[in-house]
Amino acid sequence: MQLFTHVISLAAAAASFRAQAAPLTTRPAEDVIAGRYIVQLMPNVDVSSITGHHEKVRSIRRRDDVTASIDKEYDFGDFKGYTGSFDPAVVAELEAMPEVLLVEKDSIMYTTALVTQTSAPWGLGRISSRTRGATSYIYDSTAGSGTYSYVLDSGIRTTHVEFEGRASWGYNAVNTNNADTSGHGTHVAGVIGAKTYGVAKKTNLIAVKVISEDGTAATSNVLSGLNWALNDIVNKDRRASAVVNLSLGGPASSAMDNAITSLSNQGILAVVSAGNENQLAANVSPARAPAAFCVGSVQSDDSRSSFSNYGSAVDIWAPGTDVLSTWHTSDTATSTQSGTSASAPYVAGLVSYIRGIEGLSIGPAARARVLALATVIPPICWFDLPSGQYICPDVSSAPSLMAYNGNGH
């Protein structure tokens, strides 16, 4: 194995293609999809009970006085269930069934990118140095070879030259258009594994489209993407070589949190963005899920990005302001973006990178190794509106950690 120094040229970066971000969508107080519900069955439900449950639902659907239809089914790990359209009477019947764990309104999730900015990249230098201000990225030549990064997002421009043929389409939960029309997923994939802008420059990138063209994602579609990804990983024996990245978030969702737990129970690590609402990450899913590897955003001086969510749900911090990566408008396009959407893929890429060097490991071990390598930075504090005080974590028990690739510099 050999360490390479990747020198970032500020002038070249400044001359890169500048793309305009899609306008932000103001999130309503209650992002629910009218009449649609997610039904999760008990984790230990057996095949006969599932069969019996679906027969009950079919019986309900045959009645003339109700609305009941199922359009998505889930079976990954110990997460079993479905999504459908039901009227209030049917919802009440479903909630009363002993094999049903929960019935939850389907809701809208959002990408967590913010705005396009024109500034040179700095994040790769930061995660390969213990100190701020590094302009070189020092990395091992294995660079994530033999690993698989599943990008649950808006899709990937797989033909982009930066991906060198390592990007492929896996599944589309949204529509039949296997294209990234917003750029969000292509940018995220580039941070994970582009040859110039990526952390793990030899990882395989798998596009799982769960975000629609308007930048939103139904929770039910994200669950469909997770359903496909987990089964693909398990069926291809990739538990120890795969990571899942979710640069998205939405209202608190028990179903989403349980789905992340199901991945973890199968040894698969889900890296998620903390969110961009400048609030406690514990208020949004999947960031609040205990099994999620939640990533917040910092600026080049190691201070929290003004937009980044915060609090004890954030496990680690990574660059998220002015991040240069691949873009969707051509096979050579780039764009500089800010948001926790850019922070999460630094850590997802780091998981694949470390596995390439130290050997493959299942999710919990990979997570522990990333945390063990991390650089301790000054405490990330936040203003608590109810108390009117700044809150800082106890550095002795919960230090603020910056992602680091362990190269010794």
CATH code for residues 32-107? 3.30.70.80
> Cβ of 19: how many Cβ atoms within 10 Å?
18
- Quick: pLDDT tens for 110-149: 776 433 333 336 788 888 888 888 878 888 888 899 999 9
**Which runs of E-coded beta strand occur in 98-241?**
100-111, 113-116, 136-140, 148-153, 167-172, 204-209, 216-218
Active site residue 394: no
66-72 long-range contacts, CB within 8 A, separation 24+: 66/90, 67/35, 72/220, 72/223, 72/224
Cα separation, 362 vs 161, in Å, equals 30
Selecting among 153, 232, 315, 322, the annotated active-site residue is 153
Report which secondary-structure segment, H or E, holds 402: strand 400-402
Selecting among 145, 247, 305, 341, the annotated active-site residue is 341
Selecting among 53, 129, 180, 184, the annotated active-site residue is 184
pLDDT at 302 over 80: yes
The pLDDT value recorded for residue 177 is: 92
Active site residue 308: no
Domain boundaries, the chain: 3-19+110-402, 32-107
Nearest alpha carbon to residue 90 among 61, 120, 48, 110: 61
Nearest alpha carbon to residue 305 among 333, 329, 332, 274: 274
pLDDT at 408 over 50: yes
> Whole-model pTM?
0.84
Fold category of 3-19+110-402 in CATH? Rossmann fold (3.40.50)
- Quick: pLDDT tens for 227-238: 999 999 999 999
Active site residue 153: yes
Intrachain domains 3-19+110-402 and 32-107 with the same fold: no
